[in-house]
Chains A and B, each alone.
Chain A
Amino acid sequence: MLVANRGEIALRIIRACDELGIETVAVYSDADRDAIHVRAADVAVRIGPPPAAESYLRIDAIVDAARSTGAEAVHPGYGFLAERAAFASAVTEAGIVFVGPSAAAIDALGDKLHARRLAQSVGVDAVPGTLQPAPVDRPDAVAGIVAEARRIGFPLLVKAAAGGGGRGMRRVVAESELPAALASGSHEAAAAFGDGAVYLEREIVPARHVEVQLLGDSTGRVVALGERDCSLQRRHQKLIEEAPAPGLSRADRAHVHDLAVRVASAAGLTNAATAEFLLAPDGRFYFLEVNTRLQVEHGVTELVSGVDIVREQLCIAAGRPLSAVAIAAADRAAMPATHAIEVRLSAEDPGLDFAPTPGRITRWVMPSGPGVRVDTAIETGSRVPPDYDNLIAKVMVHAADRDLAIDRLRRALDEVEVAGVQTTLPFDRFAVRHAGFRAARLSTGWVGEEWDGPAHRAAAGRVALVAAATAALDGPGFGPADAPSPSDGAEVSGGTARGPMALDGQWHRLGLEAGVDRWPR
């Protein structure tokens, strides 16, 4: 098995292969020469310099690596080439098995307009909007698209047919903004995806993002393993995901699972995929799109369903039918017995609008204990390169119900210790303590409404200054940078540096003797 990816997902796939006794081939760019996924695989092949376009996105280099190592299958992971039909075709044409849906299914579902029409054809409502590309470059058709926009209602979204990650997306509040939004959205989509087709969609607010994990085998059987709620997002990037979606009745769950299976079956979907829906305030589900790949957040479904989704993918790709475990899990998917939550720990600054913070990790302690799963490929000393996604760990918890899972997540996040780069940990700690999160008042606008990053950062900064001064007085080891430490042989003045006074045997109150001034000047 060649794993055409990096980071935690490459390691996740290598582990599944290891458990099945399958030998693995890693590929890596120069930025990942010392990465954990390279060590974990049986064989590793360099595919290029750090930029993704010259390494992990190079179809030819990866197919060559598969051929030269005698790999019989390729797993794309998520991101990079995972949803490129051309990659699936190139792998298949080289006589190698592609672990994922067929190139035809990727192609059909990758075009969101096509997917919307497909959903409509099997009686699944997509988010209200248009089903054909907007005539962006035909001034004579402006009246028509404006009429369509009026029918849909404002505010609405201009979205890219080939879209993902919010690129090509524009929010339009008034009719007068529409022509400019269509033009700029189309331009951005063309630059990002090589396809400038855009369409209109009603903006549903407040909305929850609910998605259904699907598995399909070569016999044509498609099942749903359960749904996830991924409403906590910022700029269309998910931050926290959970399974099952809180607050749904058994009938709601069965209904949305059925919608997902209908769309996937119509597309002839095999292997693993996820159908995404918006849950409107009136309780209706609207189809958004199908992702024809393993999702970042597949782990929460694994914890609740008991199904190893990557193992299922490998078995399905080998031509086997869905396992008995998967079928049994699908049968009880509408009656989940436990709850799982995942937070994405990313190298981003939540105090600066989640700006990327690449760098070297100098301290790395991940949580453990009951009900905790951490998927990561980072260790102390790892570098987070600026070239790729900023996700550095997925911290998942599993418990009997949602309240217990939140308690467990809070505890687990308190065990995390990371230094060297700023991470999203402060946001995660905030969310897990938030009454609205516990009450499951979730929506895709939650982060923007509840999170004031700069204010939290400033408050922590004030505590940090107190802690820094206190630590230096409390010494040794955190004094002024130019002060010799006792290990340097410098005399501690008067020899009377005293430790903090014990208050109750455990907590200490800082009370250094006046006049103990250990800092030479």
Chain B
Amino acid sequence: MAAVRPPAPAGGGTAGALRASIAPGGGPDGLEPVVRGPDVAAGEAWRRLDPDRAVLEVAGERHQVLLPAASAEQRRRAAREIVVDGWRFEVVVEPAARAALRERATRARADGGHDGPTEVRAIIPGVVVSIAVAAGDEVSAGQQLLAVEAMKMQNELRAPRAGRIERVAVGAGRTIEVGDLLVVIA
């Protein structure tokens, strides 16, 4: 099957990008969320038959897609049902930028209590526009590490905790995906 995640659009054009993830309990664990920008991945074709039916072709294979209306209960959980080739899932579709911000906050909290090295990963796709630290630097919590352009906005990535920069894994100009390793703080 073709790459599910599309290549990051050139020029950081992720305006309007949406992120789809499996809702809690709505499918298998451990599936990477999919971020879709305005551009579509190669090797895919999409045909909307009517509001609640579609065909998605991926790598030459056609998949039957049902998009049933959300129940009141699903709306409360911001979840949608989707059925692909008879497999039923509940998904959450949201603006990629909002999901990224939420995860950044969650990750910063979760990493607060760790003793070992902290891996700072990309929580939004985009392009690294500048890097403010280098290996060996001492940083304090909240200090700016690097800036990523996404959604036509500069997003500053700040250190989740104080420490010494063990490694900077990306360079300026590099296109990054959600989850890519950026910086390791020892």
The 8 Å CB contact of B1, one of A362, A459, A482, A516, is A459
B12-26 Cβ-contact flags toward A at 8 Å (1 or 0): 010110111110000
Binding site for B on A (CB under 8 A): 351, 362-363, 414, 416-423, 425-426, 428-429, 454, 456-474, 476-482, 500, 503, 506-519, 521
| Known pairs A465-B21, A465-B22, A466-B44 / 13 extra A-B pairs, C-beta < 8 Å | A363-B68, A414-B64, A417-B83, A420-B81, A456-B87, A464-B84, A469-B34, A472-B36, A473-B16, A473-B38, A509-B44, A515-B16, A516-B38
Given contacts A461-B28, A461-B89, contact A466 B68 (CB under 8 A): no
B60 CB to nearest chain A CB (Å): 12
User: Which listed residue, A422, A474, A517, touches B48 by the CB 8 Å rule?
Assistant: A474
> CB-CB < 8 A to A508: which residues of B?
45-48
Is B70 an interface position by the 8 A CB rule? yes
A465-B36 Cα distance, complex, nearest whole Å: 10
CB of A465 to closest CB in B, whole Å: 4
> Assuming A419-B68, A462-B1, A481-B70, is B88 touching A514 (CB within 8 A)?
no
Residues of A within 8 A of B116 (CB): none
Residue pair B65, A471 in contact (C-beta under 8 Å): yes
Task: Tell me the bound Cα distance from A479 to B88 in angstroms.
Answer: 18
In this complex, the member of A422, A429, A515, A517 whose beta carbon has the largest number of chain B beta carbons within 10 angstroms is A517
Q: State the B residues within 8 Å of A (CB).
A: 1, 4, 9, 13, 15-16, 18-22, 27-28, 30-31, 33-36, 38-41, 44-48, 51-54, 56-58, 63-71, 74-75, 77-89, 91-95, 97-98
Question: A457 contacts B87, CB within 8 Å?
Answer: yes
CB within 8 Å for A429 and B78 given contacts A473-B18, A478-B67 = no
Nearest Cβ in chain B — how far from A416, in angstroms?
Answer: 7
A470 CA / B38 CA spacing, docked (Å): 9
Please name the 8 residue pairs, one residue from A and one from B, whose CB atoms are nearest each other, closest first. Answer: A425-B86, A469-B36, A517-B16, A460-B87, A465-B34, A481-B78, A468-B20, A469-B20
Are A418 and B46 in contact, CB atoms less than 8 angstroms apart? Answer: no
Give bound CA distance, A512 to B85, whole Å.
26
Query: Which chain A residues lie closer than 8 Å to B22 at the CB level?
Result: 461, 465
Say yes or no: A480 contacts B78, CB within 8 Å.
yes
What are some 30 contacts across the A-B interface (CB < 8 A)?
Answer: A362-B81, A363-B66, A425-B86, A426-B87, A457-B28, A458-B28, A462-B1, A462-B4, A462-B34, A464-B87, A464-B91, A465-B34, A466-B4, A467-B56, A468-B20, A469-B34, A470-B36, A471-B82, A473-B36, A477-B69, A478-B67, A481-B74, A506-B47, A507-B57, A508-B47, A510-B46, A517-B15, A519-B95, A521-B95, A521-B98
Q: A480-B94, A512-B16 are in contact. Are A460 and B38 (CB under 8 A)?
A: no
Across the interface, which residues of B come within 8 angstroms of A429, CB to CB? 85-86
The docked-state distance in angstroms from the alpha carbon of A425 to that of B1 is: 21
Q: What residues on A are CB-neighbors of B98 within 8 Å?
A: 521
A362 in contact with B68 given A461-B28, A511-B39, A515-B16 (CB within 8 Å): yes
Find chain B residues with CB under 8 A from A518 CB: 16
A477 close to B15 (CB less than 8 A): no
B63 touches A472 (CB 8 A): no
A454, A456, A513: the one contacting B38 at CB < 8 Å is: A513
What is the CA–CA distance of A409 and B165 in the complex, to the nearest angstrom? 61
Please pick, from B36, B44, B67, B78, the residue contacting A482 in the complex, using a CB distance under 8 A: B78
Residue pair A472, B18 in contact (C-beta under 8 Å): yes
A406 vs B26: C-alpha distance when bound (angstroms): 32
Inter-chain CA distance A507–B56, complex, in Å, is 10
Q: Are A472 and B86 in contact (CB under 8 A)?
A: no
Chain B residues lying within 8 Å of A478, measured Cβ to Cβ, are 67, 80, 93
Q: A471 with B54: in contact, given A464-B87, A511-B39 (CB under 8 Å)?
A: yes
Q: Is the CB of A514 within 8 A of B93?
A: no
B66 contact from A419, A426, A482, A506, Cβ within 8 A? A419
Known contacts A425-B86, A457-B87; A507 and B1 CB within 8 A of each other: no
Which chain B residues lie closer than 8 Å to A428 at the CB level? 86
Closest to A508 in B: B47
Does B84 contact A467, Cβ atoms closer than 8 Å?
yes
| Alpha-carbon separation in the docked complex, A356 to B9 (Å) | 43
* CA A517 to CA B96, docked complex, whole Å: 12
Q: Are B21 and A480 touching (Cβ within 8 A)?
A: no
Contacts of B45 in A (CB 8 A): 503, 507-509
Beyond A461-B87, A465-B4, is A474–B46 a contact (Cβ under 8 Å)?
Answer: yes
The answer to whether A463 and B93 touch (CB under 8 A), given A474-B48, A481-B70, A509-B46, is no
Chain B residues whose CB sits within 8 angstroms of the CB of A460 once the complex forms: 63, 84-85, 87, 89
Q: Which residues of A contact B85 (CB under 8 A)?
A: 425-426, 429, 460, 463
Chain A nearest Cβ from B41, distance in angstroms: 8
A422–B84 CB distance below 8 A: no
